[in-house]
Amino acid sequence: LFSEVPQAAPVAVFKLTQDFNNDQFPNKVNLGVGAYRTDEGQPWVLPVVKKVEKIIVHDDRLNHEYLPILGLPEFRSSASKIVLGDNSPAILENRVGAVQCLGGTGALKIGAEFLRRFYNGSNNTKTPIYVSAPTWENHNAVFSSAGFEDVRPYRYWDAEKRGLDLAGFLGDLESCPEHSVFVLHACAHNPTGTDPTQEQWKCHFKQDIILRKLFAFFDSAYQGFASGSLEKDAWAVRYFVSSGFEMFCAQSFSKNFGLYNERVGNLTVVARDADNLKRVLSQMEKVVRITWSNPPSQGARIVTITLTSPELFSEWQENVKTMANRVLLMRSQLKAKLQALGTPGTWDHITDQIGMFSFTGLNPKQVEYLVKEKHIYLMASGRINMCGLTTKNIDYVAESIHEAVTK
């Protein structure tokens, strides 16, 4: 029955980790994985998460009954508030709702499935879905597997300048068909670590989105990670809401809570009015029912308890800052070391970029040299996870990059 099934290619980032695990070299370094690591190179359970887990264990009122299909109500509302702000005009107007999802991926999936069925009034597969070039690889697959036949790149990264291709981005916004859907990274763009500035969002993008009647689907996987501030990292999303747009925002709590394997995500829906919202959520409930039926509770409880207690909330913010600051430190040290070594090229982009990742500009040959000769594992695109750097391995990594560039 299955003799004709073709072998699927492994997922690059997980394959890289497998190769890293199999490598016996003592000073090997994993700069591939998209997860936070401490300066000891270890995963970090946030102290606030440990504390809340204890609260949950001792709460006899909790059980393992099914959650509602759309998820824990307090989770959905507190998660939406984190991204839109407590005083969001849309929340005050009762036109914000949400679906608890399995991670940010699940939120993108439910949003994509809903849009394919109902966007712009019809069951459509032809609507162009624009994703940035480059982007997190799953964006393409999530939208095409939901039935969209036209997932296209919009220009984003200028490799020569090692920065945003503003003219290209604007050109694609201006020339795209009306009612296209744009998947926008809310902050800490993966993989480039390069975001539009507030001025660029304000001066350029808004007008095009109005003129072309585009739909913005934000992906917020790194809130708090980019700047250490929840507000700053949600600026673009809040700006769109304050401009009156209907939009979706897929939120992931994998990175900012370190809850990677609990699969905690939220799809925030900003609708035109309360009546639209009600009907949209009723259809999303149907999509969830045939997808995972009911979401898991542990991660959502952890996030809800944290977000709704002032003390735990400020402790969480401190934990997020700890992670963001370590990334900033690694950025400045890596740049300083490459500059001290006289490595050819400019390295300002290492500190200009934000969030977990850096798009180093290393070419595939240089990447191959680092992986094969130096046991330093990074994505073929040259993307590195800054958290894979530690005060112990940073000299080795900088010297190895220097060798890769100069050899």
Report the catalytic residues: 136, 219, 255
Provide the mask over 247-286, with x wherever binding to ligand PLP is found by CB under 6 A and - wherever it is not. Answer: -----x-x----------x---------------------
Q: If 0-12 CB within 10 Å is exposed, 13-18 middle and 19+ buried, where does residue 112 land? A: buried
The token pair that represents 374 in the structure block: 């130096």
Residues in a beta bridge with 101: 265
Q: Which is nearer to ligand PLP, 90 or 102 (CB)?
A: 102
Is it true that the peptide bond before 134 is cis, omega within 30 degrees of 0?
Answer: yes
Q: Which is nearer to ligand PLP, 190 or 268 (CB)?
A: 190
| Backbone region of residue 344 per phi and psi (left: phi > 0; alpha: psi in -120 to 50; beta: other values) | beta
Residue, CB closest to ligand PLP? 103
| Backbone region of residue 280 per phi and psi (left: phi > 0; alpha: psi in -120 to 50; beta: other values) | alpha
Binding to ligand PLP (CB under 6 A): which residues in 19-58?
A: 34
Give the single-character DSSP code of 205: I
**Alpha carbon distance 152, 146 (integer Å):** 15
Provide the mask over 182-211, with x wherever binding to ligand PLP is found by CB under 6 A and - wherever it is not. Answer: ---x----x---------------------
Does 134 participate in binding ligand PLP (rule CB under 6 A)? no
Q: From the CB of 265, what's the least distance to ligand PLP, in Å?
A: 5
Region from 19-27, 90-98, 102-110, 369-377 binding ligand PLP, contact rule CB under 6 A: 102-110
Query: Which phi and psi angles does 37 have, rounded to 5°?
Result: -130, 150
Q: From the CB of 254, what's the least distance to ligand PLP, in Å?
A: 4
**Alpha carbon distance 374, 163 (integer Å):** 28
- Per the listing, tokens 């006899």 go with 60
Q: Which is nearer to ligand PLP, 252 or 360 (CB)?
A: 252
**Alpha carbon distance 146, 154 (integer Å):** 20
Of the candidates 282, 319, 324, 292, which has an alpha carbon nearest to the alpha carbon of residue 303?
A: 319
Length of the chain: 407
Region from 99-107, 157-165, 287-295, 375-383 binding ligand PLP, contact rule CB under 6 A: 99-107
Does 71 participate in binding ligand PLP (rule CB under 6 A)? no
Q: From the CB of 394, what's the least distance to ligand PLP, in Å?
A: 23
Does 385 participate in binding ligand PLP (rule CB under 6 A)? no
Does 136 participate in binding ligand PLP (rule CB under 6 A)? yes
- Which residues of this protein are in contact with ligand PLP, per CB under 6 A? 34, 103-105, 136, 185, 190, 219, 221, 252, 254, 265
